[in-house]
Every structure is written in C-alpha cells, then in structure tokens.
Chain A
Amino acid sequence: MNLDLFLQYVVAGITYGTIYGIVAIGFNIIYNTTGIINFAQGEFVMLGGMTAVTLARVLPLPAAILVAVLVTTVVGALIEILFIRWLRHPSVLRMIVITIGLSILIREVALHIWGEGVRALPYFTGTSVTSIRLGGVYISPQVLWVVGISAVVVAILGGFFRYTLLGMQMRACAANRDAARLCGISAKNMVTLSFMLSAGIGALGGCIVSPITYVSYDSGVPLAIKGFTVAILGGLGNSAASAGAGMLLGILESFSVSVLPAAYKDVISVAILLVILFVRPSGLFGSAEVARLKEF
C-alpha cells in the first residue's frame, strides 16, 4: 500500500469517525447527568436531518439548520418532561426499555410524516463531486465542514462545562446528584437541560452529515449503535475520549475494508468492542476506578 492510498483510507476513517463521535457525545451528555443511556439518541440525529431538509425548501440553509436544531431541542425537552422526569429511581433495565420504546415511536412517527424516501441537504460548498486534492489524496469539502463544526462543538462544550455556572452545576449533578441537590442545584432541571443539549447536538450532527450520508426515517438506529459502541469504547461519560474513540473506530473500519470483505465490516468493529469490554470494561481511555464508582 502506497502512502497516498494509506492516507485516503485515513481520510475515509476520519469521515466515519467524526460522525460516530458526534453521536457518542450526545450519549455522554445524558449519561453524565442521569446515569442512563438514551437509546433514542440516533433518532435525534434523524429528526434534525429530516426537519432541516424539509425547512431548506423555504428557508436559506443556515436558517433551516438553526430552526431544525431548535425544534429537535424542544423535542428533547418534551421527551424528558413527559417520559423521564417524573419517574422515581427507575432501574437501568427499565430506562433501557423506555428509551428503546421511544426510539421505535419517533421512528414510526417520522415514517408516517415523511414517508420512506431518502433525503439530503445540499453540499455546503460545491457539489457532490467537488473534492479538494492534497497531494494524492482527495477530500470532499463537506468532510472538512463536518470535522470543523464538530471540533468547534467539542470546544464550546468543554468551555461550557468548565467555565459557566450552568455547566458547573451540570457537572456537579453528574459527580454526585445528592450532594448537588444539597447545594441547591435543581437536579431535575439539569436533566432536562442535558436532554435538550444532547438533542440539539444530535440534530446539528444530523444536519451537517446529511449531504454525505443522506437521511431517512430509519437512519437513526445504525447511527445510535455505532455511537453507543464509540461511547463505550472511549469510556462512558467522557466526551473528549468519545471523539478519540470515534476516530479510532472509523479508521479501523476503513482499513478493515482494505484487507477483508466489506460485508464483515461491522463484525470486526463489534468484535473489537466486545474484546475491549471483556478485558477493559471502563473503555480505552476511561479510568477503572471511576467506572467502579458509577451506579448501576
């Protein structure tokens, strides 16, 4: 394999990886404040993409994306208020089943609103055949958009959690819910906020990747599974690690195609995940100490 080819696979891997990473970050935000995995996370991505495509017919592209993100954020808040907020100490098993149910429901509603067709936003720059040539490697400008916007989102999120009062309150809830409550933080509102944040980020992700991946009513589940894989691979709750793990899995998948039949691409990534779960359940970048302290 020559260098150009090698780099081309790396570029492909980065494209996959960024998409997975952005879904995984959504998982982590909710997991951190509630300790639950939201299996409907992929549906937020789908909803964002679908809404933006519909709105893009009447609004300019940036406005359509903005409105779509806001709409999905509201949906996220509604879901938390209607289905999660009033449950007292639900078990992990029960939360898994509820969010799975929500995922099915959102998907079916989307099917009956938008039909079975496949949609996409236009490329932000150029057309579907435009690509930038760097040496022997070709990159679609949309990939740069995705990577760039994702990097900005991760940076803003980091700043938000570190420097704003709201962010610190959310982190306090994540660290110890009871102690946070004693300090006068409304844990319930923090949970709602985390659903809104994660829905919004999911929706934004759905918008920026839709020119590459397309979006249809059933595109949420495969993304959610990949995002979940990446979140665990990086260590649940660690957003920066998710971004890294996403890249790793993406590049791994890309290179697995180069040597093995592509039909087994998913088998390989999932098998690697299982091995990591067996030998290091806290994730690649997670700390075993922290994982032990998490409640289940």
Chain B
Amino acid sequence: MRKQGLQIAGFAAVVAAIQLATFLTGNVYHLTQLTMSAYYSLVVLGLCILTGYAGQISIGHAGFFAIGGYLSALLTTHNFSAHGGRVVSGLAAMGILARRPDLYGGELLTVHPWPACILAVFAAVAVAYAIGGPVLKLKGHYLAMATLGFGIIVYRIVLGTELVGAADGIYDVPAFPLLPGIAVSGKSSLRVMNYYVAWGFVILGMVFLMNLVRSRVGRALASIHGAEDAAEAMGIPTARYKLKIFVVSAAFAAVAGVLLTHYNGGIGPSESSVMKSVRYLAIVAIGGMANLWGALFMSLILNYLSLRGYFGSFDDAVFGVILILIMLFAHEGLLRRQLLDQIRGAVIRRGGGDDP
C-alpha cells in the first residue's frame, strides 16, 4: 500500500516537473499535446486492465471512446430552441438545457455538458453491458473478431449518419465547466489548468485501477488470464468478473472520449476507426501487457510525439516498427528489470526468449 502511494506521488511530481520545465524553457505550448495524450492514456489504461490483466483482447475500444465523445458532442451542439414545446422549456428550467452564444453571434439552446457527459458515459456503459455478455464468451481469434466487428459497426454508423455529421464529424463543441472556475477547454489561456485537470483524471484512474488490481477482483482476473477453466472450477464466477472489467474499461474510454472532445472542441470519424483501436491495443502491448505504468508511460510518449507531428508522414510506419520490435524482442514490455538479463541470455543462447 505504501509503495503504491509513493508511486502515485512520484508520478504526480513528474507531471508537475514537466509543467515547470515547459514553463522555464518557454515551451508551454507543448502542454496542449501533453493534455491530449493524457486523455488517450485513459483509454489505454482501461484497455490495459482488460487485455493485460484479464487477458481479454479488444480491437474495438475506439468504439467506446467514440460513443462517449460523439454523444456528448451531439447533445451539447444540437440546438433545441427550434423544437420548442413544454418538455424543452421544462428541461431548460431544470438547467439541463443551457443557452450559449454561437460563433456568429446567434444563440443556441443546447444540453449542458454535465448531463450530456453523464448520459454519454452511461450509454457507453450500457452498450458494454449489452454486448459484453455474449462477446466475452468467445476466446482467441473469435474474441478479436467480435470486438473488431463492434468497432467497425460504430465507425460505420458514425460515418453514415447525417445527424452526427457523417464524414465531417461534429464541431463547435463548447467547453465543459467541471466545477466553478474549472473547465475542460482548449482555450490557450486555460492551457496550464487543463494540463493539470487531464493528468488529475489520469492519476485518479490510476489509483482506482491499482486498487482494483490488488483487490479480490484483481486476483480473480489474474486467475482468469492464467487458466480460465481452472478458475471457473475453483468457483470463481469468471463470466461476471470479465463482464465487470469490460464495463470498467469501456467507461474509461467513454470518459476519455467526452473530455477530449470538449478539449478539442470537436470530434471526427477518425476517432472511431479500426486503426485507432489497433493503436490503443499496440500501446498496451508495447507497455508490457499487464503493466499499468508501462502502458501509461508508452501512451504518454507515443501519443505526444505523434500529436506534435514529429513522425511526419511516417506516423504509422514508426508505430508499426516499434510494435514489431517490442513484440519480437521484449514482449513483456520495456519497463522491466528482467529485460537486461534476457538480452544477455539471448546473446548466449543465440535464440529468442519466449515463454508459453
């Protein structure tokens, strides 16, 4: 328990140190991409617990991200003032609908970001519940195909539906006032605050997941990963645990989707593409599968570099190369003490080190 506290404190110190460093070197702009990376890291953490710890692959997590982001974006940009009626005015009186000016000086009546966010995350959780049961019965390639299929369906719906902007996506999404004085917003004047808000979310998520891993649930997950049939025979309700963790992981993705959409001021179909899901999975793999810190670290670095445009036209290529190299030579991740030993061993034996 103390070790965990120290790790979290250390990480918080790193987050603060990065902010300080950008401030001192006059590179505060980098915080924008670091903030975006933080939100993508939330998805990665959720997927890490599902794939790394419980051993359930998902190539469809961008789908949950998109459900969260799109629903929140739709509700906070759709103008209800044209609809009129008692329901609308009732909702407005309750504060669920709020008025705000648009870019051209007009006025919009849209859902307040808070209820929109809750509804969006709830929807993603509900979808996860609904499909989780049958999907998680599958194993291996069938599970991969089923989650991939889910991702494709979300992508196709998003791309084919005029209401959510089809190929253009949704834009002009307003800021999200979390608390009085604190808002998720892409405004440059709020850059530092948003950096801390985003990483605050990551730290909260991290604490939650670390506790989860150490709890009864975590031990059950490890047993499912190791030998599901044996776990079942021992009386562990594997199906229930798998579903639970699937829903948690979907909720992480949905929350990230909502927050990043409000931060960027919009969302497009590319956020729900298969390639995006593959990226999340790849980062978990590069981070070392059952390694929350590894996944977080890799997500931070790779997303940051990619969003800064450092890879130029080689974005996907660099990604593919890293992925293959890690999977071939260090498939338990880079952040691991045994790696050095393994390289030494590999050199001596002149073969690859692998385990079942």
Contact = CB atoms under 8 A, between A and B. Distances in A.
In the complex they form, whether A and B have CB atoms below 8 Å apart is answered with yes
Interface in B125-147: 134-135, 137-142, 144-146
B351 A86 contact: yes
B145 A105 contact: no
A266 B137 CA distance: 24
A271 interface: yes
Contact of B57 (A86, A96, A103, A281): A96
B159 to A, nearest CB: 7
A104 B319 contact: yes
A155 interface: no
B179 to A, nearest CB: 39
A156 interface: no
Given A37-B141, A83-B328, A89-B356, A100 B323 contact: yes
Contact of A105 (B289, B321, B355): B321
Interface residues of A, number: 43
Contacts of B274: 221, 225
Nearest to B146: A277
B232 interface: no
Classify the interface of chain B: helix, strand, loop or mixed.
Answer: helix
A172 B24 CA distance: 67
B153 interface: yes
Interface of A is mostly: helix
B259 to A, nearest CB: 27
Interface string A257-296: 0000101101100110110011001000000000000001
Contact of A263 (B150, B159, B317, B327): B159
Nearest to B140: A296
Nearest to A267: B156
A108 interface: yes
A277 to B, nearest CB: 5
Contacts, number: 124
B316 A108 contact: yes
Given A83-B328, A281-B138, A273 B149 contact: yes
Interface stretch (A18-26, A205-213, A228-236): A228-236
Interface in B99-151: 134-135, 137-142, 144-146, 148-150
A270 B60 CA distance: 13
Contacts of A102: 320, 324
B244 interface: no
B42 interface: no
A86 B157 CA distance: 42
Contact of B314 (A86, A90, A101, A108): A108
Interface string B154-171: 001101100000000000
Contact of B142 (A86, A221, A271, A277): A277
A37 B319 CA distance: 21
B282 A232 contact: no
Given A105-B317, A277-B142, A296-B139, A97 B323 contact: yes
Contacts of B152: 225, 266-267, 270
Contacts of A261: 160
Interface in B289-315: 289, 314
Contacts of A108: 314, 316-317, 320
Contacts of A57: none
Interface in A3-27: none
Interface string A161-186: 00000000000000000000000000
Given A232-B141, A232-B142, 7 more contacts: A87-B354, A90-B354, A92-B141, A96-B144, A225-B148, A261-B160, A274-B149
Which 4 A-B residue pairs are closest in the complex by CB-CB distance? Answer: A104-B320, A263-B160, A296-B140, A108-B317
Interface of A: 37, 83, 86-94, 96-98, 100-105, 107-109, 112, 221, 225, 228-229, 232, 236, 261, 263-264, 266-267, 270-271, 273-274, 277-278, 281, 296
